[in-house]
Amino acid sequence: MQLVFATNNNNKLKEVQALVPEHIKLLSLADILCIEDIPETQLTIEGNAIQKAEYIKTNYGYDCFADDTGLEVLALNGEPGVFSARYAGPQRNAEDNMNKLLSKLEHKASRQAQFKTVIALHLNGELETFTGICKGEITTEKHGEKGFGYDPIFKAEGYDKTFAEISLEEKNIIGHRGKAVQQLIQFLRKQES
């Protein structure tokens, strides 16, 4: 089976490739010569994932899946949510995004948050979605060198280390994207049996 993973984010690609069975060949957007920015104009994480998957299917004809992820902070009414990558502006800079979030939480008692990933799969003319959630909290300062995005300031429930301090293998087990990808893999296995 061959599937396009509609992402330009090499970190996401590595995370997902580590989870997908070897017989499923993952193609990146570069592999299908898709160099344009895929629109993400929906107001929900699910909407953006579906929009990206439909864009690849419509314009390139491949069976594919796309994901969208957001960090939702309770004390900020779900911010940054769908705007997580562009929270501090269109430059999509992780440091700027984290600094803005830490600043907005400075005087908040609650630091509860969750990462949410939705994967939209376009396969054989059908559309399916899979959702992974990882609950936790935002730390008061950055810790760790691994991971990407908000990983240095997010600690999963029951953990005393941030996502940027744990291994990719561990993050894939407890993390939002890993949970959504596991659902995707289970679905693909059922299709093959």
Q: H/E element holding 131?
A: strand 126-138
What is the residue type of 49? A
- Catalytic residues, by residue number, are 68
- Residue 12 CA to residue 32 CA, distance in Å, equals 17
Residues 6+ apart with CB under 8 A from 77: none
Report which DSSP code applies to 77. Answer: T
Closest to 128 in 3D by CA, of 44, 38, 50 = 50
- Residue 20 CA to residue 121 CA, distance in Å, equals 14
- Residue 8 CA to residue 148 CA, distance in Å, equals 14
Residue pair 176/115 in contact (Cβ under 8 Å)? The answer is yes
